[in-house]
Amino acid sequence: MVEKREAFAPWSLTRKAGVQSATVNSDIEVPQNIQPTLSTGFVDEDGDWKGLKSSDEQFNNFGNDEAIANGATILAPQSVTGNPPWVLDMTGFRSIYIALKVTNGGNYGVTAVMGPNDFSFANIAPIAPARNLKGADPLDPSLENIFLDSAVDCQSDQWNIVLIKERLSNQKLLQFKITNSSGGESDIETAFMRLV
């Protein structure tokens, strides 16, 4: 909605009429139009339109791995056998929710890893798959695992939701290695939701 309002500038009406020697002793009306704008993207340096990201509204890329032995690992997300895996692309996203539903309650390891080597990372391929993602903190220049938690406590037969804030922002080809450390065999369901 456009809003029109009047403001005043400190010049006389005579000066407005063009007489330069007129004193400054009254105000003239200056119209101002105020209109809200909405930014939905930008044009990059190549002239290509880039839309702004928005958070996922729901969990997606559900997976179900059955009868995972204690000490065994799975990679998630991945698609149905026979199709190429669908990896998470965090470009433009800052945080991510991971949802785990297990049939045997206990601890589960969750590690951020590089996605499969049948996809390129930007314009390079092949990449080393299922390797822990490494990075350096501005205050500590040594390379460390970006995200590794060996003991995510999960209740059985319920969705256990974990929020990872900003540590994996803008990561391409993201997957998670999930290790069953519950002490027994377990089915593991997974789902993901990315946040701007």
Same domain, 172 and 78: yes
* 96 and 182 both lie in a single domain: yes
Would residue 47 count as lying in a domain? Answer: no
pTM attached to this predicted model = 0.75
- Same domain? For 95 and 30 the reply is no
Are 32 and 91 in a shared domain?
no
CA atoms within 13 A on the CB side of 89: 9
Residue 28 and residue 99 share a domain: no
Same domain for 110 and 185, yes or no, is yes
pLDDT, position 4: 60
Residue 10 has pLDDT above 60, yes or no: no
Is residue 169 domain-resident? Answer: yes
Query: Does 65 lie in the same domain as 18?
Result: no
Domain range for residue 20?
A: 3-37
Assigned domain for 44 exists: no
Residue 178 inside a domain? The answer is yes
pLDDT score of 165: 95
Mean pLDDT of the region 84-97: 87
**46: in domain:** no
Distances in whole angstroms, Cα of residue 79 to Cα of each of 25, 65, 83, 181, 193: 76, 11, 6, 24, 16
110 & 164 share domain: yes
Q: How many domains does the chain have?
A: 2
Q: 106 pLDDT band (50/70/90 cuts)?
A: very high
Indicate if 64 and 161 belong to the same structural domain.
Answer: yes
Q: Is residue 48 part of a domain?
A: no
* Residue environment code for 58-79, b if the CB has 16+ CB neighbours within 10 A, otherwise e: eeebebebeebeeeebbbbbbe
Are 152 and 58 members of one domain? yes
Tell whether the model's pLDDT for residue 43 goes beyond 90.
Answer: no
In a domain, residue 94? The reply is yes
In a domain, 42, yes or no: no
Rounded to whole angstroms, what are the CA distances from 62 to 28, 39, 192?
65, 32, 7
pLDDT at 11 over 70: no
pLDDT at 164: 96
CATH of the domain at 58: 2.60.120.380
